[in-house]
Amino acid sequence: MRKKSLLPEINKIVIAAGKYIRRESKHIRPNDGKDKAYHDPVSFVDHRAEELLVNGLSSLLPDAGFIAEEGTGERNPDGYNWVIDPLDGTLNFLHGIPVYSISVALAENAHLLSGVVYEINRNEIFYAEKGTGAYCNGKAIRHSNILRMENSLFATGFPFRDYSRIKQYLSLLQLMMNETKGIRRMGSAAVDLCYTAAGRFEGYFEYGLKPWDIAAGIVIAREAKCIVSDFQENENNWSGEDILAVNPYLYHEFVNFVQKHFKI
């Protein structure tokens, strides 16, 4: 096991990539993106930012592999892997909507060890390492203290690629509209998880994602003492197939809502 924290070095690398994205945001246009899959845009900025991250992170752990959204590098089948989303919220970025982030996690086999999420426009860097707490710009963060669902604010992401469970999702969404103060759709899963970790949201839920969307945010949310699991309450699943992160006071009530509507 590693003894020295890599977080300071990871943060520097991520912030440097964020500076590049910020520069490009001044002249990016919606038609600068193209669909790599149905409703899943990518731009030259995604690719270049990922190259910057891979080059920088390779120097920290030369033997580590990469699980990266745009396919840079190769996965290590046994050992360390960097899990990278170079631009989480590409559609927002292309349209000039200021909610997008860089997400970098470090995993050892199936175990998530550390996570960094840089919300570029607010210049907020969230980071955590397993067992050491969660932080934003050097200050400790923790889940909210809201105790009742009726006083809560939740985040979600609309299905955009997998519509196989859209009826169940819309049914749950309707319930949550009635049971909470409101629902927000930010457009970046990494940001949703970090805002939940910081107590800005009481919880977040979504399905149809990928590991790079959520890996770093999971570490941060857990170190902020949120409960993070899939819809079946499995806390070891970070595939992205489905995910929820909730403050510990509301987790079980919300899980009951989810399992009722998704018939789990």
List the domains of the chain with CATH numbers. Answer: 7-141 (3.30.540.10), 149-261 (3.40.190.80)
**Predicted local distance difference test score (pLDDT) of residue 37:** 64
pTM beyond 0.85: the answer is: yes
**Predicted local distance difference test score (pLDDT) of residue 161:** 84
**Predicted local distance difference test score (pLDDT) of residue 126:** 98
> Of 81, 148, 135, 151, which is closest to residue 110 (Cα–Cα)?
81
**Predicted local distance difference test score (pLDDT) of residue 39:** 61
Residues above pLDDT 70, as percent of the chain:
97
The residue with tokens 């970790």 is 197
**Predicted local distance difference test score (pLDDT) of residue 63:** 94
- Write the CB contacts of 31 (distance below 8 Å, at least 6 apart in sequence): none
Question: In sequence order, what are the beta bridge partners of 244?
Answer: 205, 229
**Predicted local distance difference test score (pLDDT) of residue 40:** 66
- Residues of the chain scoring pLDDT < 70: 1-3, 37-40, 264
